[in-house]
A and B are shown apart, each in its own frame.
Chain A
Amino acid sequence: MDARVATAFAPMADSTATIAPHRLTHLERLEAESIQIMREVVAECERPVMLYSIGKDSAVMLHLAAKAFYPSKPPFPLLHVDTTWKFRAMYEMRERMARELGFELLVHQNPEALARGINPFDHGSALHTDIWKTEGLKQALDQYGFDAAFGGGRRDEEKSRAKERVLSFRTPEHRWDPKNQRPELWRLYNTRKRPGESFRAFPISNWTELDIWQYIYLQNIPIVPLYFAAERPVVERDGTLIMVDDDRFPLREGETPQLKSVRFRTLGCYPLTGAIESTASTLPQIIQEMLLTTTSERQGRVIDHDQSASMEKKKQEGYF
């Protein structure tokens, strides 16, 4: 038994484990389903990996993985496809979680992107994302020979994801063919594949943003502090508040970072992630703000703005 697993997630009150057995709540049903999916993939695939983005969905995924295989450690490594442009607080969180949970942590940085110094300021968000993330992910999956990769994608995030399967079949070139996905009935997942083919597995497909927050709250799951409001140095660009997280940030003429009470609804590369002005510094306050707010979650992500079907295009190219 691994004591580290237990200490990292010492839940204050684990309602999902002890609630009256006669009536499962929606979160209990979702949790059980996610765990069932994780176990199924681990039992049937040869070399699974969990993609770790360090965000709140990833935090829930780690927690579910710890539950699914306890008292064993989750029998797969974590893979962080790094762009070198994440928030510093995210790197700190990554190291802490890997240490406390005893996961094997793999970090991949696309060597080509590193050599060319790809960054969102000089190359634009689309190229930056494509080379660091899309290409980087393919490289890492090929390099380690993973045949199944767990991701934290949810069907409520974006319209084209509503039709994504729990197990998303990918060709040896990592392409996703919307016409050639396998039907998923009951709790039965078909994981059979030929050498080179792989799956992306989305155990939290049926969770919504509210479910994620509520679960984090109930299970006391550690998340990056950036989700909570604090005074942070930001500049406003094209109507979006961008945090100046390190000295690589090229300030424009006359631009001075302002200290504002902000927080982030999603986390990614800091130059591409919009902050919102907020004073919500506790989980209930965050949830309150989210429920009363009128813009959807992904609006904070700059990459989605191009056109309404852009996520779908990225997915066909192999982006998660």
Chain B
Amino acid sequence: MKVLVAGSATGPLLRLGEGLSFWGGFDPALGTISDRAHPQFGESLAGKVVAMPHGRGSSSSSSVLAEALRLGTGPSALVLDHPDSILVIGALVAQMLYDVSCPVVVGEIAGSDGEIVTVEG
């Protein structure tokens, strides 16, 4: 496992079947997936350890992730298949400005959806 943003977090696991663009695909006011084309449209990410293959598309996703973390509607941790600097910088800025932790790691995570898991990054 490679740690991109350090921290530790515990929460229910949610695996996303496809990458998600936080901008245009996620509503930071509600904490839910708003991309109608995404297989998990409507699902809440708030407080969850979200495992996803990669980010997608828009470079605005950093801002949306940081805003969600400010509002408390963001994931508690991100587990990626590949490094994604757009998500990393969103998590870092939320940490810098608001002292909110959202560890971002690359690796495999065991467990099924809804299971409480801990990420130690």
Answer yes or no: do A and B interact: no
Interface residues of B (CB under 8 A from A): none
- Interface, chain A (partner B; CB < 8 A): none
